[in-house]
Structure 1
Amino acid sequence: MKLNKIHHIAIICSNYEKSKTFYVDVLGLTVVQEVYREERNSFKLDLAVGDEYQIELFSFPNPPERPSYPEARGLRHLAFELDNIDKAVKELEEKGIEVEPIRVDSLSEKRFTFFADPDGLPIEFYEK
């Protein structure tokens, strides 16, 4: 078996409009398609990262919370590569997003930081 790439990441949010605003207006992801699925009382928003479609944002009535702190088993965080972490952190802070101090990965010597989406999902920015 040979896997080619990650096709998409699915995120279930508690407040669809708030999360849509965060991923589209704050992070700048591009809307590919938005669908309301009446039978599930659920929105599905397909978002592109760069030139690829990679994130599906879902809304469902009353989804249970997923613990992040202390760190729980399962998906740990979502990471985005970018060229200039200082500029990205400044843009997030100007939009009212709290960002952890920039650190350096001891193995790769690359700079990175974390912040959270509206539901507390940890998101990492990792400098190229």
Structure 2
Amino acid sequence: MEIKNLIMIVDDDARNIFALALTLKAKGYKVITCQSGKEALELLFGDKQVGLVLMDMMMPEMDGYETIRLIRKNENTKDIPIVAVTAQAMAGDREKCIKAGANDYISKPIQVDILMEVVKQWV
């Protein structure tokens, strides 16, 4: 499997991780998971060859906005595509995520067809 098919899921809810990972693996993608922004940064900065990050925006300690900003500041990770995944679907939330550095945005609950369109666009 090509490195670009490695997708990182960052979410503090194990149920979300399970559902996303199951869907992506069924479509042939390799998946790694993290339950915090800090863990995601450690893996990314530790030279993991990730092709796409699916980032939950509302996490304790370090939220997705801060995590994305730190990913974008690092020379080795600044170009990795990041898709914000959030239950916040209010007016302006998409723009807030894009402004923080996300390349795209998906709202929860995740619709599999929309998820796969977005993944194919960025991987």
TM over 0.5: no
TM-score of the pair, normalised by structure 1: 0.31
The structure whose residues are more often strand, as a share, is 1
User: Rg bigger for which structure?
Assistant: 1
| Bigger proportion of residues as helix | 2
TM-score by length of 2: 0.32
